[in-house]
């Protein structure tokens, strides 16, 4: 029998920086017609429908859990009105809130 090999994998500096939100949804509420596709298809449950209305009288999405966003942009892919999209956080956005 081969001897057991124990190895400790240490996270790299880049992996340490990735903790926290990995992305962010950008919402243009005035374009929204309240279909809810972005909320329904978000795999991380980042979004929910707002109780407030936009100027057209539609409920628009709002961020429910910003820390869970991966920046996958499924919200933007399903939005028929181009009212939302997701962006991935990278080194260039590190200082951005």
Task: Determine the topology of domain 22-92 in CATH.
Answer: Alpha-Beta Plaits (3.30.70)
Looking up tokens 């926290």, which residue turns up?
20
Burial of 79 (0-12, 13-18, 19+ CB in 10 A): buried
The model's pTM: 0.69
pLDDT at 8 over 80: no
Q: Please, are residues 71 and 24 in contact by the beta-carbon 8 Å criterion?
A: yes
* Residue range 9-59, pLDDT digits in tens: 555 555 555 565 689 999 999 999 999 999 999 999 999 999 999 999 999
**Residue 60 to residues 25, 67, 81, 90: CA-CA distances in angstroms?**
13, 20, 12, 27
Domain boundaries, the chain: 22-92
């Amino acid at each position: 029998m081969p001897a057991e090999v124990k190895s400790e994998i240490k996270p790299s500096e880049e992996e340490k920086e990735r903790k926290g939100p990995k992305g962010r949804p950008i919402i243009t509420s005035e374009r929204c017609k309240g279909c809810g596709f972005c909320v329904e298809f978000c795999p991380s449950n980042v979004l929910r429908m707002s109780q407030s209305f936009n100027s057209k009288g539609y409920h628009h999405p709002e961020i429910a859990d910003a820390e869970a966003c991966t920046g996958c942009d499924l919200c933007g892919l399903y939005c028929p009105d181009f009212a939302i999209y997701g962006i991935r956080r990278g080194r260039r956005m590190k200082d951005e809130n």
